[in-house]
Chains A and B, each alone.
Chain A
Amino acid sequence: MIDPSNTGPDAARATPLLEVRGLSVVFDTPDGCHRVVDNVDLQVSAGRTLGLVGESGSGKSVTCLAVLRLLAVRGRVTSGEVLFQGRDLLKVSEEEMEALRGCQIGMVFQDPMVSLNPVRTIGWQIAESLHLHQNLSKSGAAKRTLELLDLVGIPEPKTRFGEYPHQFSGGMSQRAMIAMAIACQPKLLIADEPTTALDVTIQAQILELLSDLKKELDMALILITHDLGVIAEAADDVAVMYAGRVVEEAPVLDLFDSPLHHYTMGLLNSLPRIDRSVDRLSAIEGAAPPPQDFVEGCRFEPRCGHCDDACSGVRPDFSQISDTRRVACMHPVAAT
C-alpha cells in the first residue's frame, strides 16, 4: 500500500517546488472577519505527494485556493508567501498568474459533475487548456486531447471527445477533469478531494491514475482529503490541519506508526484498521470549532484529554522532532 522507498529523508530534503510560508487567509463576513487559515507552512517537492488532511472547515481547500489565487471575493490573504520555483505567487500580476494556472499548476476539484461546463463538449474543455497555454494548431490540439483522454483511461476517446458532461459518469468526469488539469504537463497538481464524490471502487482507480500520472510526468502532487485511507494509499508526506492550522507534519509511514499530535492520534483511532483489533471505534469528543470560535491558544485544547493550563492562551510552537517531522503540541504523544 505504501511504498517505503519513496519516503526516505533525502527526497524530502530536496529544494521544494512549492513552499508556503506563514500563509494567513481571512474571510470578511457581516459579523466580522474570520481567520480561516492561520499561519500555515507547507512544502512539496517534485515527484512527491503531499497529503493535506483535516476535517471540513479546517482550511485545507482555502489554503490551496489561496495558492492559486482563486479565493472568492470575500476571502483575502493577509500575510505569507507562496514560493513556486522561488517566485512569490502572491506578488505576481494577474496576467502572470493566468499564465501559470492550468499550465505550471493544475487543479482538480471535488465534484467533477458540476465542475465541468455543461454546454461545452469534453473535448472542447480539455483543448481549451492547450489552446490557452500552448501554441498548437486546432487539429494539433484535438490530436493531443485524444491522447490525453486515452492517457487518463477514458475508453473510445474519439466518441467521448464530442460528448457533453451530462453524458459522462462521475468517474469519467473526474478523469476528464484530470486530463484537463494535466494537459499542459504542469509541475504541480493540486487535487481537492478528487475522490470524495465518487464510488469507492472508482475512488481507488482515480487515486491510482493520479499516482501513475505523477510518476509519468514527474509532478508534485498536493492531495487534499479528509479520508485517511486515501492518505495511506497515495501520500508520501502528510500535513494534518485542524481549525485553520497545521498541527503535525510527517512522512506517511511515521504518521501512521506513531502520531505525535493528540488530534492525529484521535483521527487514527477513529479509523477501522486490519492490524488492530477493536470492538468499538473511538471518536474524538466534541466537534471542530467554526471559524468564529477559533481561540488564540491550542485550538484542539477543548477536545483534548492531555492538556493543562499551558495549552490555552498561547499558540503552541512547532517542535522539530526530526528532519521530516514536526508537531505543534505542548504535550505531544510519547513516541513509542
Chain B
Amino acid sequence: MANTAVATGASTRPNYGSMSRDRTWALRWSYFFLVLFAIFFLMPPIYMLITSLKTSAEISAAKNPWFISNPTLQNYIDLLSQNQFLVFFRNSAIVSICVVIITMMISVIAAFALARMKFWGSATLATGVFLTYLIPETLLFIPLFKMFAWVNEVFGVQLMNHWWTMIILYPTLTVPFATWIMIGYFASIPKELDEAALIDGATWMQTLTKIFIPVALPGIIAATIFTFTVAWAQFLYPLAFTTSTSELVLPVGIITTLIKGDVFNWGQIMTGALLGAAPPLIIYAFLMDYYIAGLTAGATKG
C-alpha cells in the first residue's frame, strides 16, 4: 500500500531537476574556470623558471620558448657568486624586516586606540588614516625630494642614496593600510571581551597584549604578510632615491645591474626575479594556515 502511494506521488510531481545534478554542473564550471585562472597566473612564473635554466644562446635562438634543450644552473651560479646580488638581497631583507616591525608596532597600537578607546575625533582620525593610503606614491616622491633636501639643509643629514632611508619611507605606505586592516579586525572582536577584561582588572595595555593581540593573531599575520610583501616588492621609491650599487634593494638592483644599455641579460634577470620572489612565497606557505584559522571561534555565542 505504502509503496504504491509513494510511486504515484513521485510520478505526478513535476520534474524540477535535482539538487545533485545542479551541484555537479556548478562544480564542473568551477573547475573549468579555476584551471583557466591557474594556467593564466602560473604562466609568468613558469616562464621565469624555464628561462632561468637556459643559456643566453638558447634564449636568443628563435626556438619554442617553453622547451629547454640544455638545462643549466649557470645563471644561478653566476648570480649567487656575484657579491652585488647578495648585497641587494641583504639590503632588501633588512629593510623589509625593519619595516614590518615598525609598521606592526605602530599600526596595532593605533588600530586598538582607534577601534576601542572612543575619544574625541577618533572616527575622523580613522578615516584620515585610510585617506592617506589612497594617495599614490607616484604623487609623493617629488615632494619627498624637497623634504630630503630640507632635512639635509637644516639637520645636515643626507637621506638621499641610502638603503636605510627606505626603512623610514616604506612605513608611510604600509602603516595606513595595516592600521586599516587591524581596525577592521579589532572591531570584529566582541565588545564584551574587553569589558570582561576591564572588570577582571586589566589596564588598556594589558587588554591589548593579553586579549586583543592573541585573539586578533590571524589579522596581525595578514597585516604582517601584506607589509612584508609591499616592502619587499617596493620599486618606485628605491629607484628614485638610491643610485649607488651598494645601496640598492633587490627589485631595483636586478633591473639596474642586469640591464646594461639595450643588452638584457634575460637568464640572470629571470633567475634574480625568481630568487627575489622566493621569500614572500615561503612566508605565505608557512603562515597561510594561521592566516585562515579563525581564532575567535568560541569567544561568544557559537
**Do A and B form a real pair?**
no
Interface residues of A (CB under 8 A from B): none
B interface, CB within 8 angstroms of A: none
